[in-house]
Amino acid sequence: MKKEKHEKTTITVRLTDEEDQALSRLCTLKKTSKTGYLARLAKDQAKRELLNYAAEEYLEGKASLSELAKKTGLDVPTIMDEVASIKGEDKRAVEAFLSAVETLSKLNKDPEFYHLAANAVRE
């Protein structure tokens, strides 16, 4: 089985001595080369940024999933998973907020405080 040859691009990165020493230590511990580590780091970070961009654009209604898949090179299910993850985090944040408001409402014997917060969240 032949390996596919991928075209490579050379990018120069300038590091301070301190940054280079830290990178060297990390690469020694991970048993990898600086080039390999930085290449993987760049690829992973770029993918995270593309995914974040796609999810934000979709949630703001600026583009469809298919448009974003074409723009970013990511597949639609991957973008959908990220959108679902963000929406889930939003839901958990709202639940945590309402739980805190409920506690304050009970401590201050002010049930109206909770009702106002719950109504505000629904809107």
User: Both tokens of residue 34?
Assistant: 């600086």
Element at 43 (helix H, strand E): helix 34-59
Q: How far apart are CA 48 and CA 35, in angstroms?
A: 20
Which tokens is 70 given? 């074409």
pTM above 0.85, yes or no: no
39-56 pLDDT, tens per residue? 999 999 999 999 999 999
pLDDT digits (tens, 9 = 90+) for 50-93: 999 999 999 899 999 899 999 999 999 999 989 888 877 667 77
Structure tokens at 86: 């963000």
